[in-house]
């Protein structure tokens, strides 16, 4: 079945450092790929998405490119801020006939940014 | 719009007790789903619904029941709680024509 694997956390960086969180996936079809973010005490929010190969999703300075050849969707940001501290989830959508859109999540990566 | 709302925020149960986790959305979304979040395992799909009167099982449905009598509401029922059901539960919703889903704030459940 479909699956998502994220780099192990937690990740701790200093403010203004470069961030990469690795994500690879296994899928039988052509899924859409997502990054969701969970701030402390809150639910998940969509950060960015890409729906086909070579698409780049971007939002709030974060970027990720859908790489079909390496089955990857790595999250990057050039200069992180303390406010970026959160748990980041990579996910894919397993869209079935009839419109059901089941998300398959990675295990999450906790990111802490120190001032 | 209130978005996706969940009640309660936190609940403690004893083994064998039953309860219902409430989820409601005011965005007229056809698709609703329940996930559980456990440390190191990400979120796993419990049940989902593509519209009123239609429900189906996800990856980890055992011990949970759902129903969808209205577009707005999608309650999750635990018939006989077990310690293995200690988790954080998230409800999500979205349009069937779009892939973006919107998550509620979660319900933290502790089963003793």
DSSP string, B58-95: -SS-TTEEE--SSSSB--EEESS--GGG-EEEEEEEE-
A9 band by pLDDT with thresholds 50, 70 and 90: confident
Is the Cβ of A99 closer than 8 Å to some Cβ of chain B?
Answer: yes
Residue B84 C-alpha, separation from nearest chain A C-alpha, in angstroms: 18
d(CA B77, CA B66): 6
Percentage above 70 pLDDT, chain A: 96
Which pLDDT score, from 0 to 100, does residue A62 have? 98
CB A100 within 8 A of CB A1: no
Q: Which residues of chain B have pLDDT under 70?
A: none
CB B70 within 8 A of CB B52: yes
A97 band by pLDDT with thresholds 50, 70 and 90: low
User: A23-30 — which CB contacts under 8 Å span 24+ positions?
Assistant: A23/A64, A23/A72, A23/A73, A23/A74, A23/A75, A23/A90, A23/A106, A24/A70, A24/A71, A24/A72, A24/A73, A25/A71, A25/A72, A25/A73, A25/A90, A25/A92, A26/A2, A26/A71, A27/A2, A27/A71, A27/A92, A27/A94, A28/A2
Residue B100 C-alpha, separation from nearest chain A C-alpha, in angstroms: 7
Can you read off the two tokens belonging to residue A3?
């699956």
Mind listing the pLDDT tens digit for each residue in A24-74? 999 988 889 999 999 988 889 999 999 999 999 999 999 999 999 999 999
Query: Is B42 close to A107, i.e. CB distance below 8 A?
Result: yes
Residue with tokens 């996800």: B58
Which pLDDT score, from 0 to 100, does residue A101 have? 79
What's the average model confidence in pLDDT over A84-109? 85
Which pLDDT score, from 0 to 100, does residue A61 have? 97
Which pLDDT score, from 0 to 100, does residue A42 have? 86
Query: Is B100 close to A46, i.e. CB distance below 8 A?
Result: yes
Burial A30-52, CB ≥16 within 10 A → b, else e: ebbbbbbbbeeeebbebbbbbee
Query: Is A100 close to B97, i.e. CB distance below 8 A?
Result: no
Can you read off the two tokens belonging to residue B33?
């789903």
Residue B47 C-alpha, separation from nearest chain A C-alpha, in angstroms: 10
d(CA B80, CA B93): 26
A99 band by pLDDT with thresholds 50, 70 and 90: low
């Amino acid at each position: 079945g479909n699956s998502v694997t994220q780099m192990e956390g937690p990740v701790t960086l200093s403010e203004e450092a470069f961030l990469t969180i690795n994500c690879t996936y296994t899928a039988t079809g052509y899924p859409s790929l997502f990054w969701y973010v969970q701030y402390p005490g809150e639910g998940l929010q969509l950060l960015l998405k890409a729906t086909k190969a070579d698409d780049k999703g971007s939002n709030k300075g974060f970027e990720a490119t859908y790489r079909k050849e390496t089955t990857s969707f790595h999250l990057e940001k050039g200069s992180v801020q303390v406010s970026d501290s959160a748990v980041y989830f990579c996910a894919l959508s397993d869209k079935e006939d009839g419109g059901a859109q089941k998300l398959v999540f990675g295990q999450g990566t906790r990111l802490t940014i120190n001032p | 719009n209130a978005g996706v709302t969940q009640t309660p925020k936190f609940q403690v149960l004893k083994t064998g007790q039953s309860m219902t986790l409430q989820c409601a959305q005011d965005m007229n979304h056809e698709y609703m789903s329940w996930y559980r979040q456990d440390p190191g395992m990400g979120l796993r799909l419990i049940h989902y619904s593509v519209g009123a009167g239609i429900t189906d099982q996800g990856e980890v449905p055992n011990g949970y029941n759902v129903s969808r009598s209205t577009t707005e509401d999608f309650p999750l029922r635990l018939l006989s709680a077990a310690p293995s059901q200690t988790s954080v539960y998230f409800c999500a919703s979205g349009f069937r024509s779009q892939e973006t889903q919107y998550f509620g704030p979660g319900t933290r459940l502790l089963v003793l």
